[in-house]
Amino acid sequence: MPRFRKKVVVFEYADVGDYAVKKAGKYLFIYPKSENELEELTKSLISRGVPFKIEELTIEDLFLLGWAND
């Protein structure tokens, strides 16, 4: 199970770099590995005016990303 348990939900398409990303409809779910990555990502999104919110991971996220067997 990942130690860092947050995800960023982006409400429109945005180039987000080398993060683990899943697309669902018009949303992108981005999974940073640490608090530092989360801070870097949110600063980048804010500076570009991309709308987003930060959420806790769900059990579905864990299965989608293959962490269920770790």
Q: What is the mean pLDDT for each group of 10 consecutive residues in the chain (70 residues)?
A: 81 86 89 92 95 93 68
Nearest alpha-carbon partner for 52 in 4, 2, 17, 16: 16
CA 21 vs. chain centroid, Å, equals: 6
What is the pLDDT at residue 13? 83
pTM of the model: 0.81
What is the pLDDT at residue 4? 74
What is the pLDDT at residue 70? 47
Contact 8, 51 (CB under 8 A): no
What is the pLDDT at residue 2? 56
What is the pLDDT at residue 44? 94
Going across the sheet that includes 20-24, the strands are 20-24, 27-31, 6-10, 52-56
